[in-house]
Amino acid sequence: MRQPMCSFKTSSPGRHGLLPLLWLVASAAAQTPQLNPGPVATEFDIRDAAQFRKIVAPDARLERLATGMKFTEGPVWVPRDGGFLVFSDIPSDELKRWTRADGLNTFRKPSRNANGNTVDRQGRLISCEHTGRRVVRLEPDGSLITLVDRFEGKRFNSPNDVAVHPDGSLWFTDPDYGLRGEPSDYGARFVFRFDPASRALSVVATDFDKPNGICFAPNGRKLYVADSGKPRHIRVFDVKKGGAVSGGAVFCQIDKGVPDGIRCDAKGRVFSSAGDGVHIFAPDGRLIGKILVPETPANLCFGEADGKTLFITARTSLYAIRLLTRGPR
Ligand code: MG
């Protein structure tokens, strides 16, 4: 996300001097759009029909599962206990839990403004905390432990999103959105790899403006990292055994808004949040099409028992659409 602590757009009140109060009323209305859960208008922007129809059925419908939140991010499907979705409402300092049976509940509060979430190979929830400035793990006994919070003795900026490699290492991005103008302790915005087994932290990339969403190809041999700063693109790296990376070419450019959260499906296609919805890219970087979403998505994930539901966190709401494809196992 671009402005984690600001959940609504501000606009100029205009130069002809309408009372500031009117603007405040308008702004307040903009903060609380009149949305209801349920089916919403489903629109697609299809660029390659043959490929798109392998992913999205013609009768697929976008559904708003829940709304009324402030800025939703970081969805992850947790496969234990029958399966449930966890996601962040960053300004509300809360992790939410959702299931079809139970609807929406609080999972953890305070969350220290947690942003991106994932599960490790043991099914434990891993979260990036903005104000905690650390990456944490939820243990089976319910305790929360700090995995890593410093680089060369200096605090991280505000870890944003995290992905688990098949070797068990955690790869995460550290832009400065959560610093809200405060200087970075280490003076940069890196992508990191952390090995929970050895506790070794290494730098993956140093040349991003705002490294943000992060995911692996299903076999773990490619790493994708979104840059939601000036470049507004996704880059791809080759990953070697032991965690060394090479490459880093631009994989795709986002043509509306910025790329934030990204995920690969089981076929290695890349799904990216963007200004107008979810953009779907072929493994060679070609845009296959878009699932348009009424609010601007910040992140997405695959979930439910068959992995074929795409959950989308978009500003005040949680959306979902059933797909023909599925997330990696
Ligand atoms: Mg993000």
Task: Say what the pLDDT of residue 16 is.
Answer: 31
Residue 172 alpha carbon to ligand 1 centre in Å: 10
Task: Say what the pLDDT of residue 33 is.
Answer: 53
Residue 58 alpha carbon to ligand 1 centre in Å: 30
Task: Say what the pLDDT of residue 77 is.
Answer: 98
Residue 32 alpha carbon to ligand 1 centre in Å: 22
Residue 25 alpha carbon to ligand 1 centre in Å: 30
Task: Say what the pLDDT of residue 9 is.
Answer: 29
Residue 128 alpha carbon to ligand 1 centre in Å: 10
> From the first residue on, what is the mean pLDDT of each consecutive set of 10 residues in the chain (329 residues)?
30 31 37 77 97 98 98 97 97 98 97 98 97 97 98 98 98 97 97 98 98 98 98 98 97 98 98 98 98 98 98 98 96
The three state secondary structure string of the chain is: CCCCCCCCCCCCCCCCCCCHHHHHHHHHHHHCCCCCCEECCCEEEECCHHHHCCCCCCCCCCEEEECCCCCEEEEEEECCCCCEEEEEECCCCEEEEEECCCEEEEEECCCCCEEEEEECCCCCEEEEECCCCEEEEECCCCCEEEEECEECCEECCCCCCEEECCCCCEEEECCCHHHCCCCCCCCCCCEEEEECCCCEEEEEECCCCCEEEEEECCCCCEEEEEECCCCCEEEEEEECCCCCEEEEEEEEECCCCCCCCEEECCCCCEEEEECCEEEEECCCCCEEEEEECCCCEEEEEEECCCCCEEEEEECCEEEEEECCCCCCC
Do residues 291 and 252 touch, judged by C-beta distance below 8 A?
Answer: no
Between the two ends of the chain, the Cα-to-Cα distance in Å is: 26
Residue 105 alpha carbon to ligand 1 centre in Å: 22
For residue 112, report the phi and psi dihedrals to the nearest 5 degrees.
55, 45
Residue 19 alpha carbon to ligand 1 centre in Å: 36
Cα dist. 62→29, 184, 276 in Å? 24, 39, 14
Residue 306 alpha carbon to ligand 1 centre in Å: 25
Residue 215 alpha carbon to ligand 1 centre in Å: 11
Residue 22 alpha carbon to ligand 1 centre in Å: 33
Residue 227 alpha carbon to ligand 1 centre in Å: 10
What pTM was computed for the model? Answer: 0.90
Task: Say what the pLDDT of residue 85 is.
Answer: 98
Do residues 270 and 264 touch, judged by C-beta distance below 8 A?
Answer: yes
Residue 17 alpha carbon to ligand 1 centre in Å: 37
pLDDT tens per residue, range 213-232: 999 999 999 999 999 999 99
Query: Measured between alpha carbons, how far is 240 from 216 in angstroms, rounded to an integer?
Result: 12
Residue 175 alpha carbon to ligand 1 centre in Å: 9
Residue 78 alpha carbon to ligand 1 centre in Å: 19
pLDDT tens per residue, range 267-321: 999 999 999 999 999 999 999 999 999 999 999 999 999 999 999 999 999 999 9
Residue 199 alpha carbon to ligand 1 centre in Å: 24
Q: Which residues pair with 137 in a beta bridge?
A: 126, 145
Residue 300 alpha carbon to ligand 1 centre in Å: 10
Sign of CA dihedral 150, 154, 155, 161: negative
Residue 241 alpha carbon to ligand 1 centre in Å: 26
Q: Spell out the domains of the chain, with CATH numbers in brackets.
A: 17-22+37-322 (2.120.10.30)
Residue 14 alpha carbon to ligand 1 centre in Å: 32
Closest CA to 91 of 117, 118, 64, 109: 109
